[in-house]
Structure 1
Amino acid sequence: MSENNNIVSLSHKIEIYPNKKAKTHFRKAFGCSRLAYNWGLAKWQEYYKQGIKKTHLDLKKEFNAIKKTQFPFVYEVSKYATQQPFLNLNLAFQKFFRDLKQGKVSYPQFKKKRDNAGSYYIGGDQVVLSDTNKNSKKYKKIITECNAQYLKVPNLGYVKLSERLRFSGKINSVTISQNGDKYYASFSVSIAEENYQPQPKTKLGLGIDVGLKSFVSLSNGLEIKSPKPLAKLASKLKTKSRQLSKKQHPKTKGDKTKKSANYLKASLKLAKLHRRIVNIRNDFLHKLSSSIIKQADYICLEDLNVKGMMKNHKLAKSIADVSFYEFRRQLEYKAKYNGKEIIFADRFYPSSKTCSQCGSIKKELKLSERIYYCEDCGAKIGRDYNASINLLRLIEKQIGQVLPEFTPMDLTAMQSNLAINRIVTSKVEVGIQQKSHL
């Protein structure tokens, strides 16, 4: 989602139901898009070695000049399939030069042909939606179901959408993509600011401590665990990967062995399992982040160094499974969309080591210590819950006002919303135990 001059750009990804003819057309378009990108990258490298500077627009003009004679098949698909890749290549180089300043190397790579994946772009001027399937000769006589909607694909015809487009506004573009045996259309739509309804203001704040044992610990006392789909389906993933490797296929670069039919079948099964893992994780993250945005106006998170954490080979798989960064990304764009505020604690802010009651800071706190004991005031509290309270206090410090506490009604409303979305919650002991000083 992006916002500019009271215009909001939103995205809606919808599964589509292509027939065999449409699938063949999509594969051609994926190939044309990949060809244009790889041709542009190869030409850029060639000119760079010669000391010649060329922009992506120069490369696109050069490609357009030769495509009629050298690549006539590109005219079978939308013109955008071979135009957009040059813009994507420009963005890739911009990212490369931007990352170089930070000491990172992200040089653009050639795109590989994949059996069950691909995508291509269609400009908004070529996008047409219809309530009837105009591919049929009898479409005028057919009364379609009220929820049906069809997308007209340039040079192909109408393809049925699994659901209607959620937003009404100007369609900027559509990206057709494949994942395994599923095909999708991702719409980018611009709508006026007054035509969407953000979540109502609550004036409540939430400190959120993320972790591996409990995915999030909230300052209102709720703890929520991640479904961890990768850990649960790891054995199946390992089995299907092993089965795929044993099928006939090229195993080294330059190997001309043809992929067998059984290899393609096994590859599709593995892709389905990967998609299932991703869908379970994303479904959980979207439902949780939406519920948090609905309940709180101010949210505080730790600015975690996820990339650095992934270097720990003992924790990398578990960290990837819960996807800290994706959770943060979803909270950020949903907060911007709904007019909520996200505050990030400094990476070295001692949220876990600080006592939420007296403010004293421990010098040492092992990861295995799940209960926080304060030696100064005698407070005894769950480590993650203690950190979330400190993050809530940081919100109040940043905005300069004391926020209202979560009432039992607010807490029940949040639990009900999470329960409807089948997210299991547990309640930590909110009372702070303290030693007697008498």
Structure 2
Amino acid sequence: MIVGQVIELKANNKFFTYCRKAFGVRRFSYNWAVAKFKKDYVAHCAAMDRYTRELAEYKKSPLQSTVVPVKPKLPSWQDYKKEFNAIRLEKYPFTYEVIKYASQQAFVNFGRAVSDYFENVKKRKKSKVKTNSKKRKAFFPKFKKKSYQHGSFYIGGDQVKIVTGKACSKKLENHSTKQYMNIPNFG
């Protein structure tokens, strides 16, 4: 069973520049979500403190207070993605220069990082691991830094097409039976 494929692409200067832009958009989207999450998480912790105090007061005398306190919710990665897409055209028009998946997949990865963080916190509380132990450390989502050695972005399966007979260079035009992968904006 083939699970995935790694394909090495030989990049010309135009393709290399496009990839660097896509890496930057992905990093920018992820960092935007992390910055927004940090602010929301601080506000959420304060709201949870208020909620626990109000709930304790309500449990002491439910007849005096008729309003049950509502538990605050932390926004999900889908909420951040919707908010980013709403302001994207006005504030960040450079994100439209690359494929749409470059910014969208960053939010999926951000959601995975946040869920891993909270899952690790729960495991840590259950197992009562020492704080200096290297096992099960819970890391808050961190900002991605610019790196020239590594970079990646996601291309959706609906964007990639396998074309038979279409050559990517004049040297290979006579080989009409060969298959080529056609990725938009890559050639």
- Give the structure-2-normalised TM-score: 0.70
Structure exhibiting the larger radius of gyration computed from Cα positions: 1
Partner of 1:143: 174
The structure in which a higher percent of residues are helix is 2
Cα displacement (A) at 1:153: 2.3
Partner of 2:64: none
Cα displacement (A) at 1:69: 1.2
- Tell which has more relative contact order, 1 or 2 (C-alpha 8 A, sep 6+): 2
- Percentage of pairs with the same residue: 41
CA contact (8 A) 1:36 1:82 kept: yes
CA contact (8 A) 2:23 2:151 kept: yes
Q: For residue 144 of structure 2, give the secondary structure of its aligned residue in structure 1.
A: coil
Cα deviation 1:297-348 (Å, max 9, x = unaligned)? xxxxxxxxxxxxxxxxxxxxxxxxxxxxxxxxxxxxxxxxxxxxxxxxxxxx
Aligned residues: 147
Alignment map for 1:423-438 (pairs within 5 Å): none
Partner of 1:153: 183
Instruction: State the distance in 2 between where 1:63 and 1:9 align.
Output: 35
Cα displacement (A) at 1:151: 2.5
Instruction: State the distance in 2 between where 1:132 and 1:145 align.
Output: 4
Instruction: State the distance in 2 between where 1:43 and 1:132 align.
Output: 48
Partner of 1:57: 78
Instruction: State the distance in 2 between where 1:66 and 1:134 align.
Output: 40
The answer to whether 1:126 aligns with 2:119 is: no
Cα deviation 1:216-250 (Å, max 9, x = unaligned)? xxxxxxxxxxxxxxxxxxxxxxxxxxxxxxxxxxx
Cα displacement (A) at 1:20: 1.1
Partner of 1:108: 141
- Cα RMSD between the aligned structures? 2.3
Instruction: State the distance in 1 between where 2:181 and 2:35 align.
Output: 34
The answer to whether 1:90 aligns with 2:119 is: no
Q: For residue 126 of structure 1, give the secondary structure of its aligned residue in structure 2.
A: coil
Cα deviation 1:267-306 (Å, max 9, x = unaligned)? xxxxxxxxxxxxxxxxxxxxxxxxxxxxxxxxxxxxxxxx
- Unaligned segments of structure 2, at least 5 residues: 45-72, 125-136
Partner of 1:68: 89
CA contact (8 A) 2:165 2:176 kept: no
- Unaligned segments of structure 1, at least 5 residues: 1-7, 159-438
Instruction: State the distance in 1 between where 2:179 and 2:20 align.
Output: 23
Cα displacement (A) at 1:98: 1.6
The answer to whether 1:41 aligns with 2:34 is: yes
Name the amino acid aligned to 2:183: V
Partner of 1:77: 98
Instruction: State the distance in 1 between where 2:10 and 2:163 align.
Output: 15
Instruction: State the distance in 2 between where 1:59 and 1:125 align.
Output: 24
Q: For residue 154 of structure 2, give the secondary structure of its aligned residue in structure 1.
A: strand
Instruction: State the distance in 2 between where 1:70 and 1:149 align.
Output: 41
Deviates further, 72-81 or 98-107? 98-107
Instruction: State the distance in 1 between where 2:183 and 2:84 align.
Output: 23
Q: For residue 151 of structure 1, give the secondary structure of its aligned residue in structure 2.
A: strand
CA contact (8 A) 1:131 1:144 kept: no
Q: For residue 3 of structure 2, give the secondary structure of its aligned residue in structure 1.
A: strand
Alignment map for 1:287-366 (pairs within 5 Å): none
Residue 133 to residue 76, structure 1, CA distance change in 2 (3 Å)? farther
